[in-house]
Structure 1
Amino acid sequence: MLKGDRLAVARLISMIEDDAPQARAILSAIYPHTGRAHIVGITGPAGSGKSTITQELIREYRKRGLTVGVVAIDPSSSITGGAILGDRIRMLRMQSDPGVFIRSMATRGNLGGLTKSTRDVVRVLDASGKDVVIIETVGVGQDEVDIAKTAQTIVLVNMPGMGDDVQTIKAGILEIADILVINKADMPGVEELANNLRQMLSLSKPSPGGWKVPIKKTIATTGEGISELVDEIQKHKEYLYNSGEIANRAKSSIESEMILLLQEAVRNYGLIALQYPEVRDLIAKVVNRELEPRAAASTLLNFICSKLSSRS
């Protein structure tokens, strides 16, 4: 995988998605080889053209001699639980390029626009030598904030003609954007949307390092504006490193991930603890109104800690 072998990359990602026992050890081994790729998040409301923009970004990066990995997050199928593979189908012609690796992943019920294993999959693509890793989120709207804790440059895509522009912008989580894109800029209402965006940006809190969020216009179906968008992403990357903001974002990202992993571990230990008679008695006391749920949860946490302590 470290040599960029596509089959090895695909197999490792499948192991991560399946929570295979050996995946954790491999992730530990490759972690020192990560941190070289620039992570770009593409987010925004459904129907705004995120997939087409992602496809054109791949094309432009390859023109510039850079290798690209893509993690395309799709909604889970209510029937099979798998991903709706529209993104991979649309980008299929890019897959034959050895400098491109695209993986479509199902949310599997996760909120926030990403999947539980997104960060680990990004690390695999990073360690395999990709210069740029693009994460295209599912497009769920206001809940879609996980990308802010994962990507280094966040591109928020909007389009005119989606009804109430201000409400659309709100649902598009304007607060986390590093670059704003108005896609389908050949449609009516572009300038009105651009003015609304500028007004909302004027009310936003300034970036710590002085980055001013630009508004770029694209027509992704023709490739218009994509080269300029890549230039803007590069400018933001340079700003991150020149200002030192890259270190702050990395720290925030790791803190967020560790909290999520800790929550998952506590939840798993809690499920195991339900087998103990003491915990079943605790639940019975809550059911019988003898104990308040918060107090019971605190007791359960102490119980879990005592069990872990006795193991060590």
Structure 2
Amino acid sequence: MTTVDVPTLVAQAREGRPRAVARLISLVEGASPHLREVMAALAPLTGGAYVVGLTGSPGVGKSTSTSALVTAYRKAGKRVGVLAVDPSSPFSGGALLGDRVRMSDHASDPGVYIRSMATRGHLGGLAWAAPQAIRVLDAAGCDVILVETVGVGQSEVEIASQADTSVVLLAPGMGDGIQAAKAGILEIGDVYVVNKADRDGADATARELNHMLGLGESRGPEDWRPPIVKTVAARGQGIDELVEALEKHRAWMDEHGVLDGRRAARAAREVETIAITTLRGRLADLHGDARLDALAVRVAAGELDPYAAADALLDGLTEA
């Protein structure tokens, strides 16, 4: 096993050294044996970053919008981290890096850290290691972390469970309004963006979206009503309005105690995922195990039902 000086890596990441941040995220992606030590070291350093998720169908301009947001936040003096989740290469399993190419304008900015992550077959538009990677960027001192999903369409609702604020992007002429209604995407957006608003049909798309958001609406006067922002991200138009909408949502969450609740729920899902993954790993080692074989014989003989056998097996695993 390769020796890793975790305290030094963490200290260097806190200083903003990109190589240290890259190494830590690589340890996360590779499920390194040092991962527990890394997470323990990072835990007291997290909680300061504002995590914004961007999702939407392919072609709506997620990467361009992300890049424009980076520019806006850097002008405000904020350190920005970007996790651009790409489709996995069918050959290497790695990310195709298309998003990072489109954000090359920020490559030389020491106040921006951009990382492409492969989904590696994980459904929901996010890489399985995304929660821990977000934690690394948070601990490294990023004020804002932008998480751009893979762009696979209707399965991308997972971003809502990883972000403080979820931004759903649509574009005119792509039938996104109807797709959004089908996908349940209207349930996850905190801010909606009609990008490429210089195209014909942008106003109609915004009206349709506004109508859909109002259908069956049961929000109270204190509840958040997602705004609709029209942008032309390629020219930077509407980006200041988008940042303003994001800041308003963050302020609303702070005022109503929603932000802490979202982050606690996110932590609960992360803990649950780790626990289930650990159990699955232990179960995978059970083939040929004497405990499993003994229980199987009893089930086959009708002495024990399979549910009771499974309970007994799990009790043994959790006690181990």
TM-score (norm 1): 0.91
Secondary structure of the 1:134 match is strand
Give the C-alpha shift of residue 279 in structure 1: 2.3
- The answer to whether the Cα contact below 8 Å between 1:279 and 1:300 also exists between their aligned partners in 2 is no
Question: What do you get for the CA RMSD once the two structures are aligned?
Answer: 2.2
Deviation at 1:205, TM superposition (A): 4.4
**Distance between the aligned counterparts of 1:198 and 1:173, measured in 2?**
13
Aligned to 1:226: 239
Aligned equivalent of 1:235: 248
Comparing 247-256 with 295-304, greater Cα deviation is found at 295-304
- Does the CA contact (< 8 Å) of 1:71 and 1:133 recur in 2? yes
Amino acid at match of 1:193: T
Partner of 1:109: 121
Q: Which residue of 2 aligns with 1:259?
A: 272
SS of corresponding position for 2:159: helix
* 1:214 is aligned to 2:227: yes
Distance 1:25 1:297, change over 3 A: farther
**Cα distance, 1:117 vs structure 2:** 0.8
The number of equivalent residue pairs is 307
Aligned to 1:274: 287
1:78 Cα deviation from its structure 2 partner: 1.3
SS at match of 2:77: coil
Partner of 2:133: 121
Of 113, 135, 140, the residue aligned with 2:147 is 135
Match of 2:205 in 1: 193
Q: Which amino acid aligns with 2:174?
A: M
Q: Structure 1 residues 307 and 188, CA, compared in 2 at 3 Å: closer, same or farther?
A: closer
Q: Contact conserved, 1:39 with 1:135, CA < 8 A, in 2? A: yes
Q: Quote the Cα distance in structure 2 between the aligned partners of 1:84 and 1:76.
A: 7
Matches within 5 A, 1:24-173: 24-163=36-175, 165-171=177-183, 173=185
Q: How far off is 1:240 after superposition?
A: 0.8
Instruction: Quote the residue 2:6 is aligned against.
Output: none
Which 10-residue stretch deviates more, 243-252 or 105-114? 243-252
Q: Out of 166-175 and 146-155, give the one that drifted further.
A: 166-175
SS in 1 for 2:203: helix
Decide which moves more: 218-227 or 195-204: 195-204
Shift of 1:147: 1.2
Deviation string, structure 1 residues 2-53 (Cα, Å, up to 9, x no partner) = 2222111111111111111112211111111100010000011111110000
Gaps of 5+ in 2: 1-12
Distance, in Å, in 1 between the alignment partners of 2:95 and 2:302 is 45
**Partner SS, residue 221 of structure 1:** helix
Secondary structure of residue in 1 paired with 2:193: strand
| Structure-2 residue corresponding to 1:246 | 259
Query: In the TM superposition, what is the alpha-carbon distance from 1:212 to its structure 2 partner?
Result: 1.2
Q: Which residue of 2 aligns with 1:306?
A: 316
Q: Contact 1:158/1:172 (CA < 8 Å) preserved in 2? A: no
Q: Contact conserved, 1:45 with 1:172, CA < 8 A, in 2?
A: no
AA aligned opposite 1:271: A
* C-alpha contact (below 8 Å) 1:183/1:217 kept by paired residues: yes
What corresponds to 1:6 in structure 2? 18
* Paired AA for residue 101 in structure 1: Y
Q: Tell me, what secondary structure is at the counterpart of 2:156?
A: coil
* Equivalent-residue separation in structure 1 for 2:56 and 2:303 (angstroms): 45
* 2:223 aligned counterpart, secondary structure: coil
Task: Give structure 1 stretches of 5+ with no counterpart.
Answer: none
The corresponding residue for 2:7 is none
What is the TM-score when the length of structure 2 is the normalising length? 0.89
Mark the CA change 1:234 to 1:301 in structure 2 (over 3 Å): closer, same or farther: same
Shift in Å at residue 172 of structure 1?
Answer: 6.7
What whole-Å deviation, never above 9, does each CA across 1:79-118 have from its counterpart, x for those lacking one?
2211111001111220210000000000001111111110
Cα deviations across residues 213-267 of structure 1 (Å, max 9, x unaligned)? 1000001111110111011111111111111111221222122222222221221
Partners of 1:156 and 1:172 within 8 A in 2: no
- The AA in structure 2 aligned to 1:245 is V
Matched to 1:239, the amino acid is: W
Q: Structure 1 pair 275/165, CA: closer, same or farther in 2 (3 Å)?
A: same
Q: What SS does the aligned partner of 1:104 have?
A: strand
Aligned mates of 2:211, 2:34 — CA distance in 1: 51
